[in-house]
A and B are shown apart, each in its own frame.
Chain A
Amino acid sequence: MADPLLSVRDLRTFFYTENGVARSVDGVSFDISAGETVGLVGESGCGKSVTALSLMRLIRPPGRIEPGSQIKFDGLDIAALDEKSMREIRGARLAMVFQEPMTALNPVFTVGDQIAEVVRVHHAGSKKEAWDRAVKMLETVGIPSPAQRANEYPHQLSGGMRQRVVIAMALIMNPALVIADEPTTALDVTIQAQILELLRDLQQKFGTSILLITHDLGVVAETASRVIVMYGGEIVEEAPVSDLFARAHHPYTEGLLNAMPQVGHERERLETIPGSVPPPTKWPQGCRFHDRCPYAWDRCATEHPPLYQIGGGHVSRCHLAVEPERRAQKHEPMVVA
């Protein structure tokens, strides 16, 4: 097998605040291969956005990527790369799509200008060439009358269209990896579907790898081939997508799946996971999920579980992997009792 495009080992990103050290990303390791779509799932506060920003090296003080973290992108270790070289990579080989299309674009420049800027900043074309490419890109992302639209300002476009523009900006230099941080959360459901379809098409067309970050498992089911679940600043489960939905192992993943409304499964009430996400300044001892877990026992409160192999590319950070019989002893989680 060829070397993975992206190889993250032991990524730690801490924020040094007056309330203490927030260990937002606390030892995350994963790979992404060329052409793959990987989903990164978790609630807010689990560290998925910080992971994305760390990959892009967009972490500003008081946060920093801790020494010892390794991010190998296309053979280059970008965790410790100098800023100038990193700038050459950003936008050209590694790009990001952000969550809020309404505020992601500069209000005083035309959309065409902003897309063309990516080309010009990377010295990949003259002003005219960059503009032409921008217009073509607008067409590729499905915006009608692209030449006209390119001269318009962000406030003249709808949310869905703005997100397409943001995607155009990310893809115009044909990056090897695109990180999409909740690209559809701020959009209407119908637009959501369109944007996801666009991403799928573009991936097929350009062969880009996508790291899709979301809290919505439904989105992941449609688009990703592999899923990573994060909780408490760590990866708690990783599996091929069908495996995750059919045979979720970690109780947190189970909880997420149970909380999803599913067509065809009528239920009186949606099950929520009791308790709330702990603050990154104070991760619980032992397993970070143990106080909200319906299966936890004394081992879970003291012994921090490693990522156990479940088989077939499926890993889970849960002691149930070695004591599966405990799954029968379901009870009220600690936070409730």
Chain B
Amino acid sequence: MRRRLAARLGQSIVVTFIVATISFFAIRAAPGDPFSYSAKPLSQSLREQLRRESGYDRPMAEQYLRYLRKIARGDLGYSFNKGEYVTTALAQALPRTLLLAGIALVLSFVIGIALGVTQATRAGWFDRMTSTVILIFYSVPDFWGAMIMLTIFASWWRLFPPGDIVTPVMHDYMPAWKAFADRVWHLILPVASLTLLSLAGIARYQRAAMLDVLPSDFIRTARAKGVSERGLVWRHAFRNALTPMVTILGLTLPAFLGGLVFIERVFTWPGIGSLAAEAIEGRDYDLVTGTVIVGAILVVFGNLLADLLHAAIDPRVRE
């Protein structure tokens, strides 16, 4: 198991390196440079100076090496627009994203799996109706769905705040318990939106996985042994359907983070996604690169975790 961990860790690092490379070349390939358009007005000579200092006038290969060396040192650059180091900005935003994403991910998996299993074992009108509803949720554009949630629950019925992570200004004056409640109150709508939109995909996969497993021979054997229906579904079938779900977890992570960007935008949640959008508006090269790399790292290590879980669940891959 430890050897597997080491191997996968090594793989993850290689992939991260490749991601960094891709980000570098992809973003450099876009027309313009960080100093052609910036939020703050800059004189032409100042632009030239900044270009020279940051090495943007050097050949691509040299820039790439500088870039790699900086990344290896943990230096992701400096954000001109925010006036702080990229790593600082990311370090602030990341926990907020993890909070939102983490809760939503767990919730969507739990609910999605429960739905999928119930659908597979209760074929008939329930299955058909649920499948249709789920498919509709799956086809909803994330930002639109989020906007509808926001409009209904924060605008028409003022049940929840219209965004942000805490009540501005007021939060600093709240006693500890109220501050905590305030945070929770702000979390509910974005988490609910992200969960609702994500669980559709999961339920679909889980249903398919269960339908795949239920006609298996070993289920018939278990039935012949006298195992109850519940035992068949949860002890035998579900355990086997879990394996592909763990793989799915790894595969859907990038898409999940994609949806997160929209949710963060709509609810003005100051996480990685918002940071990326801000950075793009301000043509903040380093910050954009930084967010892409961090996003990818989240995916890579999420996959690593998923892989370890896979080995924990399925004895066949443990060799």
Contacts and interface: CB of A to CB of B under 8 A. Distances in A.
A72 interface: no
Nearest to B227: A121
A166 B221 CA distance: 9
Interface string A77-114: 00000000001111110011010100111111100000
B172 interface: no
B221 A118 contact: no
Chain A: number of interface residues, binned into ranges: 20 to 34
A105 B221 contact: yes
Interface in A186-244: none
Given A121-B231, A122-B226, A153-B315, A104 B221 contact: yes
A95 B240 contact: no
B217 A98 contact: yes
Contacts of A155: 315-316
B227 to A, nearest CB: 5
B19 interface: no
B218 A104 contact: yes
Contacts of A107: 218, 240, 314-316
Contacts of B243: 108
Contact of B221 (A88, A98, A108, A122): A98
Chain B: number of interface residues, binned into ranges: 20 to 34
Contacts of B228: 87, 121
Interface string B283-319: 0000000000000000000000000000001111000
B223 interface: yes
A107 B243 CA distance: 11
A195 B231 CA distance: 30
Contacts, number: 72
B224 A96 contact: yes
B225 interface: yes
B315 A90 contact: no
B236 interface: yes
Interface string B173-198: 00000000000000000000000000
A124 B231 CA distance: 17
Contacts of A121: 225-228, 231
A109 B222 CA distance: 12
Contact of B223 (A90, A92, A103, A109): A90
Interface string B247-276: 000000000000000000000000000000
Contacts of B222: 106, 117
B121 to A, nearest CB: 13
Given A89-B226, A92-B226, A98-B221, 13 more contacts: A90-B223, A91-B225, A91-B227, A95-B225, A98-B220, A98-B224, A107-B316, A108-B240, A108-B243, A108-B315, A109-B239, A121-B225, A155-B315
Interface of B: 216-218, 220-228, 231, 236, 239-240, 243, 313-316
